[in-house]
Amino acid sequence: MNDGNQLAQAHTKRPQTIRHRAGVARAAQESTPAVPRFVHSTGFLIVFALLTLLMGGLWMAHTQMSRIPDLWEHVYRVSAITNGDIIPRHVDSTSHYHSSASDNVGGKVDWKWIRLSDAHRDPFDSGVVDLNSITQKDSTGADVPFNNTGIYSPVSYLPQIAGFALGKAFGLSAATTFYLAETMMLLAYTILTTWGMSLLPKHRLTMAILLLSPPVIYHFSFAISADSLTQALMILFSCMVMALYRNGPRDGHLVVAGVVAVLLSLTKYAFIPMILLLPVVLAVHRPRPRRQWIIVTSSIILGFCMVAAWMRITSGFVSNPASVSPEEVHGRVLSLFTQPQRALSAIVYSVVHLQGAFRSPVILLLVWAAFAFVAVCVVVDACAPPRNPRSAIFLGSIIVVAAGCVFATYLAMWLQGTPAGQKGVYIMQLRYLVPLMPCMLLCTAEALSEIRTKHAIRLAGADPTAPPTRAPADC
C-alpha cells in the first residue's frame, strides 16, 4: 500500500512541477519587451522582398560586366548547357586561364556570347576565349573552354538557364539576354530568401538586416554564377532547419527540406555536410516516427549518390590544368588515403597565415573571430544552468557542420587549384564563406536567446535542473 501511495503522489506531483515550470517560462517571456507584430506579419515579408529586389537591382545596375569572378566561364557554361552540352567535353580552343589545349574541356557556345565576352575582355577575368585558337565552329557558335565551371552541375544555373533559353527563343541580343538572366536570378533569390524568412518563428529582424547587408546581397543575389543559387538555397535551408528545430519536424516539411538539401549539395559540393543537420533535428526531438527517419535517410542517400555520380562523370578533367596538371590532382587524391597529413598541413598553414584573396588579411581574421564568437556562445549556452541538452546538441551540430563545409572548401581548392610548390592553399575568398553567415547568425541568436531565458528562469527561482519550456519572445 505504501508503494502505491508513493506512486500516486509522484503522479500528482509531476503535473504540478510541469505547470510550475511553464509558469516560470511565461513569466520570463512577459518580462521581455513585446515583439513588434509587424516583424511576424505578411507586411514585413513584403517589405523584405521589395528591399531585396531594390537593393539587388541597384547592385546589378552598378556592377559592370567582368566584375563578377569567373563571369565569362559561367556564361560559357550556361550557353553550352542550352546548346545540349550538359556534360563538358574536350575542346581545342584556349584562353589565358585555360592555356593547355590538350587538357581543356568545354562546349558549344553561341557566337553572341563569344563576341560579348571579347568586347568586355578584362585582366580581371582571364577566361575569355582566344578567338585565334577556335577550331571547331559553325554559323551558330564555337567550342570554347571552361574547365573551372564545367565541374558544376546544371542545377547550379537553373535561373540563368531559363533566362538564356528565353533570350534564344525570342531572338534577344546578348546584352539584353545577359540582364534578363541576371533579373531572373534576382527574382529567384528574392523568392527563396523570402520563403526562408517566412518560416522563421524567431530572429526575423536580425536575419533581415544580415541578408540586406552589402557583403551578402551584392553580386550573388543576381550574378550569372554558381555562387548565386548556392547562396539563396543556403539561406533557405538554414531557415528551414531552424524552423524544424523550433516547431518540431513534420513529414511534409522534412520532405521539402530534404529536396532543398539535395539541390544545395548539387550546386556546390562543399556544402553537402549541411544535409546532416536533418537527422540532428530528429534526434533532438526523439522519439520520432519511423517514416520521418526514412524521409531523412532517403534524402541523405540521394544527395550523396547524386553528388558522387556527378563527380564521377566529371572526374576525367581538372578545373585548372594550366596550374595543376591532371597527374598532380590524381596524386593528391591518392595522398588523401596514404598521406592525409599532406592536405591537413597545407590547410592549417593557410588558415594560420590568413591566406586569401582579401584586401587585407584582417578581413579573414575578423571572419574567423566571428566564427569563434559563435562557438563561444554555443559553449556558454551548453554549460549554463539549467542545462538544455537539446539546444546544446543542435547548436553544437551547426558549428561542426559549418566547420566541415569550410574544411571541404579548403580541401577542394588544395586538390584542384593550388599550384605545385605553393605553400598552403590557393586561394580562399570571402564569397566561399558568405553562404555560411546566415546559418551562423541564427545559431548565435538562438544561443543568446537560450542564455537569456535561462537567466530569467534562474531569477524567477525555478527548479535549477529543469530545462526552459519556452524562450523569451524575440524578433
Sign of torsion over alpha carbons 124, 127, 129, 132? positive
Look at residue 102 in the predicted model and tell me its pLDDT: 94
CA distance 312 to 169: 33
pLDDT, residue 272, reads: 97
pLDDT score recorded for residue 66: 82
pLDDT value of position 37 = 85
Q: Which residues contact 288 (CB under 8 A, 6 or more apart)?
A: 249, 282
Q: Residue 475's pLDDT is what?
A: 67
Confidence band for 379, pLDDT divided at 50, 70 and 90: very high
> Quick one: pLDDT at residue 86?
97
- Provide the percentage of residues in the chain whose pLDDT is more than 90: 82
> Which of 162, 127, 153 lies closest to 230 in space, CA to CA?
153
- Asked if residue 12 has pLDDT above 80, the reply is no
pLDDT at residue 67, rounded to an integer: 86
Q: How far apart are CA 193 and CA 256, in angstroms?
A: 15
Q: How far is CA 108 from CA 137, 186, 218, 219, in A?
A: 8, 26, 30, 26
For residue 13, what are the CA distances in angstroms to 27, 387, 468? 21, 22, 18
Please check the confidence at residue 16 and state whether its pLDDT lies above 60: no
Question: How far is the CA of 75 from the CAs of 51, 82, 321, 387, 432, in angstroms?
Answer: 27, 11, 20, 52, 20
pLDDT at 1 over 60: no
pLDDT of residue 473: 52
Confidence at residue 19, expressed as pLDDT on a 0 to 100 scale: 41
Give the mean model confidence (pLDDT) for residues 13-41: 52
Say if CB 440 and CB 368 are below 8 A apart.
no
pLDDT, residue 425, reads 96
Residues 383 and 451 sit within 8 Å (Cβ to Cβ): no
Least confident of 50-54, 191-195, 388-392: 388-392
Phi/psi for 244 (5° steps) reads -65, -40
Does residue 21 carry a pLDDT above 90?
no
Segment 280-308 shows an average pLDDT of 97
Q: Are strands 141-145 and 105-110 parallel, antiparallel or unpaired?
A: antiparallel
Mean pLDDT estimate for the chain: 90
Residue 356, SS3 per DSSP: coil
**Inter-residue contact 71 to 108 (CB < 8 Å):** no
Phi, psi of 466 (to 5 degrees): -90, 130
pLDDT of residue 474: 61
Model confidence pLDDT, tens digit, residues 428-450: 999 999 999 999 999 999 999 99
* Mean pLDDT to the nearest integer, 113-137: 93
Cα–Cα distance, 183 to 206 (Å, whole number): 26
35: pLDDT confidence band, cut at 50, 70 and 90?
low
Q: What is the pLDDT of residue 456?
A: 85
What is the reported pLDDT for 124?
79
Residue with the larger pLDDT of the pair 245 and 35: 245
Q: State mean pLDDT over 353-371.
A: 95
Range with lowest mean pLDDT among 182-186, 229-233, 289-293, 385-389? 385-389
Residue 34 DSSP one-character state? P
Give the closest residue to 283 by CA, choosing from 297, 303, 262. Answer: 297
**Each residue of 402-418: pLDDT tens digit?**
999 999 999 999 999 99
Sequence-ordered alpha helix ranges (H) in 105-213: 111-119, 147-150, 158-169, 174-199, 204-211
pLDDT of residue 470: 47
Q: pLDDT digit string (tens) for 224-241?
A: 999 999 999 999 999 999
Total-model pTM = 0.90
**Taking residues 138-167, what's their average pLDDT?**
97
Phi, psi of 397 (to 5 degrees): -65, -35
Stretch among 23-37, 158-172, 235-249 having the lowest mean pLDDT: 23-37
pLDDT band at 384 (very low <50, low <70, confident <90, very high): very high
Confidence of residue 23 (pLDDT cuts 50, 70, 90): very low
E strands of 52-140, at which residues?
A: 89-90, 105-110
DSSP assignment of 344-366 equals HHHHHHHHHTT-SS-SSHHHHHH
pLDDT of residue 83: 97
Residue 123: the pLDDT is 79
Reference 200, options 56, 48, 54; nearest CA is 48
- Mean pLDDT for the stretch of residues 167-184: 97
Structure confidence by residue, pLDDT tens digits, 72-96 = 999 999 999 999 999 999 999 999 9
Q: Which of 4, 2, 28, 11 is nearest to 468 (CA)?
A: 28
CA-to-CA distance for 106 and 113, rounded, in angstroms? 14
326-343 pLDDT, tens digit each = 999 999 999 999 999 999
Rounded Cα distance between 63 and 370, Å, is 28
C-alpha dihedral, 395 to 400 to 405 to 410, nearest 10°: 140
